[in-house]
Amino acid sequence: MVAVARVQAMGILIDAPKQRSSCLPGPGQEFIPFNQVLWISPEGESTKTLTYAKGSGSDKYTVKTIKISLASGENDVSKLLDLAYGPSKRQKRLLVLINPFGGQGKAQSIFQTHGEPMFRAARCEVDIKLTEYRHHAEEIAATLVLDAYDAIVCCSGDGIPHEVLNGLANHKSGQGAKALRKVAVCQFPCGSGNALAVSFNGSASPSLAALNIVKGVKTKMDLMNINQTSLDSNKRYVSFLSQTYGLVADCDLGTENLRWMGGQRFAVGAVMRVLSLTKYPCEVYVEYAHEKREQVTAHFAKYLDQDSNEQGEGSQHDDSAAELPKVRSVKDPVPDDWVKIERPDLCMFYVGKLPWMSSDALMFPATLPADGLLDMVLWDTSAGRIKSLNLLTAVESGKHYHVDQLQYSKITAFRLIPKIDSGYLSIDGEAFPFEPLQVEVLPGAGCFLSATGGYSKTLLHDHCRRS
Ligand code: ADP
Ligand code: MG
């Protein structure tokens, strides 16, 4: 059966037979927004095959195909595809890396059900590889023929994007910066932590992630350079998500003895530490961009009306450089203009580049993809148990941003020196050597795919629009 369809400003209205004309979909009518149109191909003079992603609630999309007939003047396939794709590249060439052990070991079947059909329907070129061991994804990225792909799709948690970005940064051509600019890194979420997909799509839905990869536009994002004495000095270490010490690192990496609790283990570990007012002594030096929260909010508001891809405030990114910029060593003296933070009661040090650390932790509501700045949250035990517990629950919605006890700043670099004998440093969710850590922003060094030109909106968008 062929349905009569009309082209409207924002999409295609599919008419049921004998419906009176109207702008809104009536009974039997269906409106398909252009951003859900995957492909249109000619069948005959006026008849087309329309393939689209149909939403079925809770961010779930499935591929549907119908035959439609369009009036002449509306039925030019290439014009319709222009409307469907806008500035986004069509028929992307995708390298899909599946971690067969990520999350609950279901990555492969989640991809086959919710990813592959979407990519095929959009006529993407899809090469699929399973990762066979730790660091395999890093090796694949480091030896990749850069002209062969538009994007690497990581079917995993945040571990594989971390490996892929590090592989590109250490690309065998010696041109790490170029490799990172050339190939976009995306996540098809099927791990235990899916911060990258949640931060760009506002949800951990795999089918929405696939749709946004199909419709995504290359978007620059700052990365962070990791420097530690015992890391291989011939290698570049980059982070895209976070570095943390204290409460969260301990709960993430130090709750092995609670593993039987499964998902609850993190919350229980955190509550136990807050109740015992555990302190995490350290020395911290930072290079501030905006120390006070009011300054951070003003900075965010200023960027709201601009393209998030516009140049940032930190040191500028050179678009032609083949290599990543030189950075200062953790072995050098602390630069004079870095400020020492005096917080004897510190319980959490957290620096990050993505808003969501997981679907239920909006840790950095003020972060922007390429402002050349890193968001930093510091929190100490001086507030006492009740306020600290409230703060912990407020992180879910991002409301901790407005809590006075917490310091929220924007910085460009820091050095952290732990002052206890043993503990955890978590970088992108992985354990790193427990020793001094120096981090510097690499402005605009990475590229991702975003269907909206930036991160998913946080509570700060509304807050800034109101005031
Ligand atoms: P999760 O969210 O469940 O932690 P990730 O995708 O983050 O899943 O992956 C976790 C780790 O699994 C990564 O650090 C990666 O190095 C490792 N890994 C990938 N493939 C394999 C494999 N075939 N065998 C063992 N480990 C692997
Ligand atoms: Mg992981």
* Phi, psi angle pair for 452, to nearest 5°: -120, 0
Among the bound ligands, name the one nearest to the CA of residue 426.
2
Nearest residue (CA) to ligand 1, atom 16: 134
Buried b (16+ CB within 10 A) or exposed e, 366-403: bbbbbbbbbbbbbbbbebeeebbeebbebbeebebbeb
Residues within 5 Å of ion ligand 2, judged at the Cβ atom:
157, 159, 429
Nearest residue (CA) to ligand 1, atom 25: 133
- Looking at residue 247, what is its pLDDT? 85
Residues framing ligand 1 (Cβ under 6 A): 99-103, 131-136, 156-160, 163, 191-193
176 CA distance to ligand 2 middle (Å)? 24
Beta partners for 127?
95
428 CA distance to ligand 2 middle (Å)? 8
203 CA distance to ligand 2 middle (Å)? 17
Q: Over the stretch 348-367, which tens digit does the pLDDT of each residue have?
A: 999 999 999 988 899 999 99
Mutate to test the pocket of ligand 1, among 134, 240, 241, 357 (most ligand atoms within 8 A of CB): 134
Q: Over the stretch 124-136, which tens digit does the pLDDT of each residue have?
A: 999 999 999 999 9
221 close to 317: Cβ distance less than 8 angstroms: no
Our answer to whether residue 158 is catalytic in this structure is yes
Nearest residue (CA) to ligand 1, atom 22: 133
- Looking at residue 27, what is its pLDDT? 72
Q: Over the stretch 52-89, which tens digit does the pLDDT of each residue have?
A: 999 998 899 999 999 999 988 888 999 999 999 999 99
Q: How far apart are CA 28 and CA 343, in angstroms?
A: 63
Cβ count near 339 (within 10 Å)? 15
Residue type present at position 258? L
266 CA distance to ligand 1 middle (Å)? 19
Q: Can you list the residues of the chain whose pLDDT is less than 50?
A: 18-19, 308-312, 315
Nearest residue (CA) to ligand 1, atom 9: 159
- Looking at residue 75, what is its pLDDT? 84
- Looking at residue 309, what is its pLDDT? 45
- Looking at residue 269, what is its pLDDT? 80
- Looking at residue 263, what is its pLDDT? 67
What is the SS3 assignment for the chain? CEEEEEECCCEEEEECCCCCCCCCCCCCCEEEEHHHEEEEEECCCCEEEEEEEEECCCCCEEEEEEEEEECCCCCCHHHHHHHHHCCCCCCCEEEEEECCCCCCCCHHHHHHHHHHHHHHHCCCEEEEEECCCCCHHHHHHHCCCHHHCCEEEEEECCHHHHHHHHHHHCCCCCCHHHHHHHCEEEEEECCCCCHHHHHHHCCCCHHHHHHHHHHCEEEEEEEEEEECCCCCCCCCEEECCEEEEEHHHHHHHCCHHHHHHCCHHHHHHHHHHHHCCCCCCEEEEEEEEECCHHHHHHHHHHHHCCCCCCCCCCCCCCCCCCCCCCCCCCCCCCCCCCEEECCCCEEEEEEECCCCCECCECCCCCCCCCCCCEEEEEEEHHHCHHHHHHHHHHCCCCHHHHCCCCEEEEEEEEEEEECCCCCCEEECCEEECCCCEEEEEEEEEEEEEECCCCCCCCHHHHHHHHC
Mutate to test the pocket of ligand 1, among 99, 106, 160, 196 (most ligand atoms within 8 A of CB): 99
96 CA distance to ligand 2 middle (Å)? 17
- Looking at residue 259, what is its pLDDT? 66
- Looking at residue 10, what is its pLDDT? 95
Cβ contacts of residue 251 below 8 Å, gap of 6+?
A: 265, 266, 269, 270, 273
**Atom of ligand 1 minimally distant from the CA of 132:** 23
Nearest residue (CA) to ligand 1, atom 13: 159
240 CA distance to ligand 2 middle (Å)? 13
Mutate to test the pocket of ligand 1, among 133, 138, 156 (most ligand atoms within 8 A of CB): 156
Among the bound ligands, name the one nearest to the CA of residue 97.
1
- Looking at residue 100, what is its pLDDT? 94
Catalytic residue among 150, 158, 252, 371: 158
